[in-house]
Amino acid sequence: DVKVTQSSRYLVKRTGEKVFLECVQDMDHENMFWYRQDPGLGLRLIYFSYDVKMKEKGDIPEGYSVSREKKERFSLILESASTNQTSMYLCASRVVGGYNEQFFGPGTRLTVL
Amino acid sequence: DQQVKQNSPSLSVQEGRISILNCDYTNSMFDYFLWYKKYPAEGPTFLISISSIKDKNEDGRFTVFLNKSAKHLSLHIVPSQPGDSAVYFCAASPPGSQGNLIFGKGTKLSVKP
């Protein structure tokens, strides 16, 4: 069974803290993605990676960075958390080909105080 | 500029009746279209997809229709069940992308017993 896991379901951080969100997939997928979901705004792509050590900016990369040192792991980093980064963060992965179906993790609800 | 639009933020349907969720798009070059379902505090789960060369795809109670001339697709759920209550996202895959998907903002479906 396809599995994408995220390190935390709920996280509370303070403004200015450095935050790490971890995502691991066990499907040997090449591509991995980070989204944030906000009410009324849908899913917005932050960053994606199509191979180890490769990364591309999505639609809203400002304030974020990513790291992909191993194929199965994709980390999202908030360099200095701000209150407007309070959101649901979703990680996804996909195998090349097919319908471009992405498999999502359960999400991390991040609150920045 | 939104390339994938879900103009109805919410939809309420009686159990046993048909639910029709709509999605419009602007780019005629999209390869594939996908529907995802999302429950609160969970990641989206893939529901059904359709290739741009087809006009219908069916999977159990779920059918997706694609009208390329109108740049419109719809998801039909028959019969609707209370467990179908969730947010539904329409997504489209641009050609030549690294598996990126462009998501609509979602429609919240409520199925009343």
Contact of A71 with chain B, judged by CB distance below 8 Å, is answered with: no
Q: What distance lies between CA B98 and its chain's CA centroid?
A: 21
Q: Which of B30, B48, B90, B101 to mutate to test the interface with A (most CBs of A within 10 A)?
A: B101
Burial class (CB in 10 A: 0-12, 13-18, 19+), A49: buried
Distance to chain A for B60, nearest Cα, Å: 19
pLDDT at residue number B1:
67
Q: Which of B66, B91, B88, B67 is nearest to B77 (CA)?
A: B88
pLDDT, position A2: 67
Confidence check: pLDDT of A95 > 90: no
What are the structure tokens assigned to A68, written together? 């992909």
Contact between A5 and A21 under an 8 Å Cβ cutoff? The reply is no
As a whole number, mean pLDDT of residues B62-75 equals: 97
How far apart, in whole angstroms, are the C-alpha atoms of residue B56 and residue A8? 39
Q: Does B59 touch chain A (CB under 8 A)?
A: no
Residues of B in contact with A105 (CB under 8 A): 43
Q: What is the pLDDT of residues A36-59, one digit of tens each?
A: 999 888 899 999 999 898 999 999
Q: Do A100 and B41 touch (CB under 8 A)?
A: no
Distances in whole angstroms, Cα of residue A101 to Cα of each of A17, A85, A94, B36, B79: 34, 27, 6, 10, 25
